[in-house]
């Protein structure tokens, strides 16, 4: 397939056929909806992403996105994950 991914987990079994099915379902077009105009992104979709991270590989939890909106979503989710991590109190090295 020749695509580069930064994933650390292996792709789920049958991913390439699932990906193809989702892209076709969404008309090979990005499904991102602009919040300010309510219009759908006009760009072609080349990536399939989870709507709810960790919500499963079923069709209802997968959507087609262009590269730009996939990066935006992934970046946003990464930032949220960092802020949701429990804060641990670290002792100052000089007070040990």
Does residue 93 sit within a domain? no
Indicate whether 92 belongs to any domain.
Answer: no
Give per-residue pLDDT as tens, 29-43.
Answer: 999 999 999 999 999
Does a structural domain hold residue 96?
no
Query: 74: closest CA among 13, 16, 7?
Result: 7
> Does pTM surpass 0.95?
no
Give the SS3 label for residue 30.
coil
Per the structure, the count of domains in the chain is: 1
Asked if residue 71 is part of any domain, the answer here is: yes
Domain that holds residue 27: 15-77
Q: Is the dihedral of CA 7, 1, 23, 36 positive or negative?
A: positive
Model confidence over 15-67: pLDDT tens digits? 999 999 999 999 999 999 999 999 999 999 999 999 998 898 999 999 999 99
Q: 3-state DSSP call for residue 73? A: helix
Residues 17, 44, 60, 52, Cα dihedral to 10°: 110
Are 23 and 11 in contact by the 8 Å Cβ rule? The answer is no
């Amino acid at each position: 397939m020749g695509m580069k991914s930064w994933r650390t987990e292996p792709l789920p079994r049958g991913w390439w056929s699932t990906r193809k099915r989702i892209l076709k379902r969404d008309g090979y077009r990005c499904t991102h909806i602009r919040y300010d105009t309510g219009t759908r992104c006009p760009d072609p979709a080349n990536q399939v992403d989870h709507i709810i991270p960790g919500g499963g590989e079923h069709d209802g939890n997968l959507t087609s996105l262009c590269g730009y909106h996939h990066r935006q979503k992934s970046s946003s989710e990464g930032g949220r994950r960092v802020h949701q991590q429990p804060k641990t109190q670290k002792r100052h090295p000089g007070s040990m």
